[in-house]
Amino acid sequence: MRLLASSVVIVAATIAHLPRAAADHRPVAIVTATASSAQDKFPANDVVDGQSGSSHGWCAGKGDVGESFTLTFDTPIPVSNVELVPGVGSGKSDGYPETFVITAGKQKITTPVMSRDSINKVALDGSAIASVTVAIASMHKGKTARPCVASIRLLATPPSTWYYSFIVGIDKAAMATLPDFARGLDAALKRCDAAALGSGLRFPLEYDHMVAADSPCGPGYESHELKYRTVGELVAACKKDDSLLARGFTGGNEDANLARELAEADTHAPGVLVVGDQGSHAWTLVRDHDAWKVTAMVGADPSPEYGSELPGLADSQVQALLGPSLLKDTYTSDARVIVVRDGAGVIAPADLPGVLPGATSKGTASDPIDVHMSRDGDAGWLVYTVKLADHEYRVSDVLVRGPERWLIAAAMWSEGQPNAKVNQAAQAGKAPALPPLAPADDKAGDASLRDAFTALLAGPLDAVAAKRATLAAIGSGPKEVSRTGKALAGPWAAAWAKHVTVVGGVIAKVAPGGNTGWVAADVDLDKAKPAPYKLRFRVFFVFDRAASGAWTLVHAHFATPAPR
């Protein structure tokens, strides 16, 4: 990919992964800002764009006392507080407003300016208002060439705890079309769809790729500023493995949520809308011939060091063994757990404590063996171990991004078993029986995923999987873990491919996004020495769609029940 521009900037990491919003989301108001007069470089719009400072805000253009600006809202909004920052003037001797008169609905309040260049708060009665006018009632002594207000904030009425964001220069009809446009563009990015991206993006397109790095202030992100000149350049980048573009709006940010952040979008200049957090994931949009266009994007690489929600699900899962009330915040409503024990099979998460020995003892999850987001950013997988009493379990989870949090959609729990004893039991015909996962003639589930599993049993790892830098494979023996595609590819080709027979039915489920799936099955592995025999395994494989659209293996979990 050729780039017109590339630069690197270090920024603090504290803005990269914000906590999820509470149930009362930040309210947004469509506003028109007008003034009795304004200086050319300091229009009324500048008080509501979220910025402030010594060179930003509204400044009266013709005088001082009596000059005013007015915010008129598309729909009346309930406001409990008005907060003003006067100033903008750069000299200590500059005169600045001494008192304001604030008119909000039927309320008219005269308030002194407590200090310059700081927040001055004025309480309202909390009722809905159609407009608010701020007028200069008196001035401090001194030079009065620039009587100004740097910014204004409006606090919503309880129970909301948020300040309003403002939409300036975009009307209600245009905003009503934004959700459909954004969802369509998000889906187009996940498909790397050249036609849809060509119509929804404006080129050249600026892309700020945030890469985890260290800064003098501690862990942070490097900002790699890229520019895609054509849709062809962008699509080529999108189709690369682990492309942030292919994750759509959220990029690598585990906390992002398109629906929520569409409702909280605001303008940073008249007619220039920003959706998301510009420190980690954002789109900048404008209206172009009555259509939306994205002119710039921000995406941040996922980093467990900065984000904790995905690996944190391991502790949530362990805690849910003791606290059933935690189940709804840990699992999807249709989640299923595969257990590898004599007499155990597919169960609901609520039944797990009754099946796992040691489940009623307090356990702590290990650091993740692997935690990874799917290519489209809508799913993921988490692999870890946990010790409960005298039992050490290996756990594989399939994760999905929910409306408010990540949840577990499927899991497998197993214990590592000593290879020698397992093989001896199988040779003697005393291996414990495992109840079928599904009827042998059950054809439910995703056919393409089932076909990918069948192809894997008949041949080597697919080319993408074999080259994966992170592909955790849990073996059936204690402490058996490999972490790369290359480490699994050799043993698979030598001992497993073409030596495996499926026993019973196969479970093949796809996550809601359609691009991540899991397969669970019982298989017999042909063993030749000392005499031919079969060794029963329960396997749990996770697949993700590669850039080509084909399924590729991203995690494998092999297990056998404890020998009798």
Q: Is the dihedral of CA 483, 485, 486, 490 positive or negative?
A: positive
Question: Taking a C-beta distance cutoff of 8 angstroms, is the pair 38, 61 a contact?
Answer: yes
3-state secondary structure 273-292: EEEEECCCEEEEEEEECCEE
Question: Taking a C-beta distance cutoff of 8 angstroms, is the pair 233, 362 a contact?
Answer: no
Same domain for 530 and 382?
A: yes
pLDDT level of residue 143 (50, 70, 90 thresholds): low
Residue 2 lies in a domain: no
Q: What is the CATH number of the domain that holds 287?
A: 3.10.450
Residue 367 lies in a domain: yes
Q: Which two tokens stand for residue 53?
A: 């400072």
Same domain for 80 and 182?
A: no
Residues with Cβ within 8 Å of residue 245, at least 6 apart in sequence: 189, 192, 207, 234, 237, 238, 299
| Domains in the chain, number | 3
CA distance 204 to 225: 13
Predicted pLDDT at 117: 66
71-80, 297-306, 430-439, 443-452 — which is least confidently predicted?
297-306
Q: What is the CATH number of the domain that holds 403?
A: 3.10.450.50
Of 281, 300, 319, the domain-final residue? 300
Same domain for 41 and 16?
A: no
In whole angstroms, how large is the CA radius of gyration of the chain? 30
Of 279, 300, 321, the domain-final residue? 300
Same domain for 454 and 326?
A: yes
Predicted pLDDT at 7: 30
Closest of 14, 26, 19, 74 to residue 50, by C-alpha: 26
Question: Taking a C-beta distance cutoff of 8 angstroms, is the pair 431, 422 a contact?
Answer: yes
CA distance 538 to 117: 67
Report the percentage of the chain scoring pLDDT > 70: 89
DSSP SS3 for 398? strand
Question: Taking a C-beta distance cutoff of 8 angstroms, is the pair 29, 247 a contact?
Answer: no
Predicted pLDDT at 95: 62
Residue 399 scores a pLDDT above 70: yes
CB atoms within 10 A of CB 40: 7
Same domain for 456 and 387?
A: yes
User: What is the domain extent for residue 63?
Assistant: 28-163
pLDDT tens digits, residue range 367-383?
Answer: 899 999 999 999 999 99
Residue 101 lies in a domain: yes
Mean pLDDT throughout 329-349? Answer: 91
Same domain for 156 and 277?
A: no
E-strand spans in 52-104? 58-59, 68-86, 97-104
pLDDT tens digits, residue range 49-104?
Answer: 766 555 678 989 888 899 999 999 999 999 999 999 887 654 454 567 889 999 99
Same domain for 138 and 217?
A: no
Q: Which two tokens stand for residue 40?
A: 């050319």
Q: Which two tokens stand for residue 328?
A: 């709804």
Same domain for 150 and 222?
A: no
Same domain for 285 and 341?
A: no
Question: Taking a C-beta distance cutoff of 8 angstroms, is the pair 122, 83 a contact?
Answer: yes
Closest of 233, 198, 242, 212 to residue 4, by C-alpha: 233
Residue 1 lies in a domain: no
CA distance 336 to 350: 10
Residue carrying the six token digits 């692997």: 370
Of 246, 268, 300, the domain-final residue? 300
Question: Taking a C-beta distance cutoff of 8 angstroms, is the pair 326, 319 a contact?
Answer: yes
What is residue 462's DSSP assignment? P
Q: Concatenated DSSP letters for 464-481? A: HHHT-S--EEE-SSTT-E
The CB-side HSE value for 519 (13 A sphere, CA atoms) comes to 30
Same domain for 547 and 504?
A: yes
Residue 41 scores a pLDDT above 70: yes
Residue 3 lies in a domain: no
Predicted pLDDT at 98: 86
Closest of 358, 390, 196 to residue 293, by C-alpha: 196
Same domain for 480 and 335?
A: yes
Q: What is the CATH number of the domain that holds 97?
A: 2.60.120.260
Mean pLDDT throughout 19-36? Answer: 75
CA distance 475 to 553: 15
Predicted pLDDT at 88: 61
Helices (H) and strands (E) in the chain, counts: 9, 28
Same domain for 196 and 223?
A: yes
Predicted pLDDT at 23: 42
Question: In 3-state terms, the chain is what percent helix, strand and coil (to 5)?
Answer: 20, 40, 40
Q: Which two tokens stand for residue 237?
A: 């980048």
Closest of 373, 381, 395 to residue 320, by C-alpha: 395
Mean of per-residue pLDDT scores for the chain: 87
